[in-house]
């Protein structure tokens, strides 16, 4: 079910780690951002949009992780955008003969049979440094950074002031670093600085996974994520409720331990 979180901006939340699909209404149709997880969910979103008389006129993937580059034929065949680096990253995956097997290894077992790889990752890269999504709707600014994944982009819908954060600024997940990057910790901190710079223009933040938050929650999440990353830089134990005894997802403590191990191997802890 689509829920309006601001004027002209709707969200569908998946059962899979509270994954959010964002719909932005334009003049002739909608921009679909990170469209969904299971075939049934995506078909349901398409049906809701059909009832609203709102065809999909453009798509956007915030980054190249499998759960952000899915698609359903009922959305039609509009241009599907990403940053140049995002598109290059998923294109590299799709160029491998065994890419379906590789992607399948990372799928959650409980949802694997409900996830289709048809149309996965067919992203058109925007020109490097593109500042806005080219479409006939509200201005959507591209805030590209290298936190979490190559070519990751947050999107700022200027009117009414909604920040679509991709896999950052979550209330249920601590920062997931791009551990293949040369400097994952500083990459993440630089991304958070971009978010801080626009926070005054934001009335709602939509994370890739988790709850939609208002301006105050945005500032709190920036501070919490910064504290987590800085604790890793300083070699301190992060006092982060998302990995503590009352964490919403029990397996996050293992992800945290894995990140510590990888950073140590890179000499960054």
Name the least confident of 85-99, 119-133, 236-250. Answer: 236-250
Is 267 a residue whose pLDDT tops 90? Answer: no
Q: How confident is the model at residue 237 (pLDDT cuts 50, 70, 90)?
A: very high
- Once rounded to an integer, what is the mean pLDDT over residues 76-105? 96
Helix (H, G, I), strand (E, B) or coil at 252: helix
Helix 252-265 to helix 215-234 angle, to the nearest 10 degrees?
50
Peptide bond between residue 160 and the one before it cis (omega within 30 degrees of 0): yes
Q: How confident is the model at residue 95 (pLDDT cuts 50, 70, 90)?
A: very high
In this predicted structure, what is the pLDDT of residue 36?
Answer: 84
Average pLDDT for the chain: 95
Cα separation of 238 and 27, whole Å?
A: 46
Collect all residues with Cβ–Cβ distance below 8 Å to 263 and sequence separation of at least 6: 177, 179, 184, 185, 232, 269
Percent of the chain with pLDDT over 70: 99
In this predicted structure, what is the pLDDT of residue 232?
Answer: 96
Q: Are 154 and 20 in contact (CB under 8 A)?
A: no
In this predicted structure, what is the pLDDT of residue 127?
Answer: 96
Q: Based on the number of CB atoms within 10 Å of its own CB, is 26 exposed (0-12), middle (13-18) or buried (19 or more)? A: middle
Is 269 a residue whose pLDDT tops 70? Answer: no
Helix (H, G, I), strand (E, B) or coil at 80: strand
Q: How confident is the model at residue 246 (pLDDT cuts 50, 70, 90)?
A: confident
- Once rounded to an integer, what is the mean pLDDT over residues 169-183? 96
> Class for domain 3-265, per CATH?
alpha beta
Cα separation of 12 and 23, whole Å?
A: 8
The 10s digit of each residue's pLDDT in 121-171 is 999 999 999 999 999 999 999 999 999 999 999 999 999 999 999 999 999
Domain residue spans in the chain? 3-265
Q: How confident is the model at residue 26 (pLDDT cuts 50, 70, 90)?
A: very high
Q: Based on the number of CB atoms within 10 Å of its own CB, is 199 exposed (0-12), middle (13-18) or buried (19 or more)? A: middle
Cα separation of 248 and 236, whole Å?
A: 22
Cα separation of 170 and 26, whole Å?
A: 27
Q: Are 135 and 57 in contact (CB under 8 A)?
A: yes
């Amino acid at each position: 079910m689509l829920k309006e979180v601001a004027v002209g901006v709707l969200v569908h939340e998946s059962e899979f780690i509270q994954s959010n699909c964002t719909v932005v209404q334009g003049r002739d149709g909608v921009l679909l951002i990170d469209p969904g997880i299971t075939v049934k969910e995506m078909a349901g979103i398409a049906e809701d949009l059909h009832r609203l008389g709102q065809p999909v006129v453009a798509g956007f993937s915030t980054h190249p992780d499998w759960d952000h580059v899915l698609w359903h034929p009922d959305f039609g065949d509009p241009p599907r955008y990403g940053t140049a680096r995002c598109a290059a990253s998923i294109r590299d995956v799709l160029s491998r003969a065994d890419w379906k097997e590789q992607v399948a290894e990372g799928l959650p077992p409980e949802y694997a049979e409900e996830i289709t790889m048809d149309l996965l990752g067919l992203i058109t890269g925007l020109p490097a440094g593109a500042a806005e999504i080219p479409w006939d709707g509200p201005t959507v600014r591209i805030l590209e950074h290298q936190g979490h994944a190559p070519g990751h982009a947050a999107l700022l819908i200027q009117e009414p002031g909604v920040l679509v954060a991709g896999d950052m600024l979550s209330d249920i997940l601590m920062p997931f670093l791009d551990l293949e990057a040369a400097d994952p910790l500083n990459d993440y901190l630089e991304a958070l600085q971009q978010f801080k710079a626009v926070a005054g223009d934001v009335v709602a933040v939509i994370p890739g996974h988790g709850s939609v938050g208002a301006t105050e929650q945005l500032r709190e999440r920036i501070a919490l994520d910064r504290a987590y990353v800085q604790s890793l830089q300083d070699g301190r134990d992060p006092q982060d409720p998302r990995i503590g005894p009352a964490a919403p997802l029990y397996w996050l403590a293992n992800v945290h331990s894995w990140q510590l191990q990888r950073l140590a191997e890179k000499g960054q802890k």
